Chains A and B, each alone.
Chain A
């Protein structure tokens, strides 16, 4: 369902770009995907996001929208009559979804990334412990938000599912890199089952990168220091 001029600047490997693509899929919006080349930033990216110079950038009718969670909210509002709602309908539930999405970016992701950048075993162990503690908070958040339903957002995937679920590819890559399970079926059983449901959602499935391909890309992005 083409609905005007929609472009998305991004990369197949980016978690943040995936959020925007899942949202566009949920609303059945066709768009032109402008794949950035690794190591360079296109002129269009720099012109459309002069403040942060980062992807994703959604360009709708020549107007740029930046920051993945803001893009997802924009997609939900600009195409509010298309497909299911991405944000919850009640103000309190929206506040909770926004809170945890911010937690994912500001606390959880930072901890996950520090496993990849850890120098030495001590630093790695500390980073792993932090991820485990923060994942535990997200397990509790899932139980509270989902209220017995399959997703954070209830019956359908929504804002918080997208915010956290987009990390699942990288989550697996970091597990392999750390040789340590980070999404544990026994420690966080609700999240574990949610992850499988999320990855199988039709809006998500075509976008989730292959672990091997992503792992190879990760080695480029986070090279290991010389022994």
Chain B
């Protein structure tokens, strides 16, 4: 049976990257459609009427929304290659917990880091640093968040790596200096074909955010 898989996404979205990595890990052929977030397509609005956000995965005409939900769906529909969730129920709960943690705790600070200046941005930076500290501690001496294997939490967080340089520049701090273990983890992930293929160039992300700050927010 011919599978039709379409992904509505935005090139720099760390959430969209999760879904793309999962599809690549499973060797699933899909059609990538770039969305203009200032002018969302009618397909996007039809497939995600509740949140009107990317990424939206459309499998044989049926939409699946929310990136971690998409990644779990992909793992369940194509279970035979590169498992994303571990088999053990407790490990699965741990994987879901940390993906949920990343989603709950990065949203606010990452947005503010991009869009604010002064005190608000400084507060966001401190919050984000706390998140990095917690994740650094959770990673510990493991090669991946998933242990010896690249799994859900690695997929959940690796997209943020392409944004690190942007956060460093706009927030005026060094993630590379303060979190060498996380950088080493990211470099291990980048050795995987799926990650190397999906992650955008960090400088490209930085330029798009700098342009946004200059043109839309009037910040130099």
* B69 A74 Cβ-Cβ under 8 A: no
- Residues of A within 8 Å of B, CB-based: how many? 22
| B residues near A103, Cβ cutoff 8 Å | 50
B100 at the interface (CB under 8 A from A): yes
CA distance in complex: A33, B166 (Å) = 47
* B69 A92 Cβ-Cβ under 8 A: no
CB distance from B4 to the nearest CB of A (A): 14
| B residues near A149, Cβ cutoff 8 Å | none
B13 at the interface (CB under 8 A from A): no
B89 at the interface (CB under 8 A from A): yes
B202 at the interface (CB under 8 A from A): no
* B69 A99 Cβ-Cβ under 8 A: yes
| B residues near A63, Cβ cutoff 8 Å | 90
> B64's closest neighbor in chain A, by CB?
A95
Do A74 and B92 form a contact, CB below 8 Å, given A91-B76, A91-B77, A92-B62? yes
A70-B93, A94-B73, A95-B73 known; 14 new pairs, CB 8 Å cut-off, are A51-B101, A60-B90, A67-B97, A71-B93, A77-B89, A78-B90, A92-B59, A95-B64, A95-B70, A98-B66, A99-B64, A99-B66, A103-B50, A107-B50
Candidate in B76, B96, B101 with the most chain A CB atoms within 10 angstroms: B96
CB distance from B37 to the nearest CB of A (A): 20
CB distance from A116 to the nearest CB of B (A): 22
B interface residues, Cβ below 8 angstroms from A: 50, 59, 62, 64-66, 69-70, 72-73, 76-77, 89-90, 92-93, 96-97, 100-101, 134
* A92 B73 Cβ-Cβ under 8 A: yes
* A74 B90 Cβ-Cβ under 8 A: yes
Do A137 and B101 form a contact, CB below 8 Å, given A73-B93, A91-B76, A98-B69? no
Do A70 and B96 form a contact, CB below 8 Å, given A51-B134, A92-B62, A137-B50? yes
